[in-house]
Amino acid sequence: MKNVIMRRQLRVLATVAALTLGVAGAGSAQASPAAQGCPTAELFATDNTAIITDPADSRLDTRLTRFDHEVREIIHVGGAEPGSSTLLDGVSWSADLEKAIYERSREFDVDQVGRDGLHHIADVLAKQYHQESVTLDGRLILVAPLADLPVAQRFTAELGVDWNRAEVRYGDEEFVS
């Protein structure tokens, strides 16, 4: 169990213009230029290091309010402008445990930041919170490499998402550890 925890720790997903699929979103699945008002980058992060396998676990009810303020300060100190923050219900698959793992996290919009600044901010978050990186309101945000686009289409179809109504944004994504 300790190995599983160690492998999960020290990762933050830093993504620029993430692939975003909205169940009720408008738009198409075609690549399009960044929409007006889109952030320069997005960070998905949590302060949770627990392995939660029960979707009814009360630790998943947190709103991460203090974490939101702390991350906004890290973004600001890192020389960028913090944009909006969205509370997320995260689900990932653990090959080691052979079951789903749940966590509450936040997506942070980051404006006026370059690649090096984004890496620095993500590195600070990874070190400070020792963590890794299906939203609320019936929306699904899926970040995937372009090579996995057919997999993402099949996955969303299995969830009942109409791909033709999904909003898709293309960009770079990477794990910073």
Q: What's the pLDDT score for residue 148?
A: 82
Q: What is the model's pLDDT at position 98?
A: 83
The two tokens of residue 120 are 């620095």
pLDDT (0 to 100) of residue 24: 29
Output the pTM of the full model.
0.64
Query: What's the domain count of the chain?
Result: 1
The span from the CA of 30 to the CA of 78, in Å, is 34
CA distances from 95 to 18, 99, 158 (A): 24, 7, 21
Domain span at residue 97?
2-176
Residue type at position 9: Q
pLDDT for 118? 84
User: Which residue positions in the chain have pLDDT lower than 70?
Assistant: 1-38, 131-140, 173-177
Residue owning tokens 């445990």:
97
pLDDT at 164: 87
Residue 132 confidence (pLDDT): 47
| CB contact at 8 A, 104 and 90 | yes
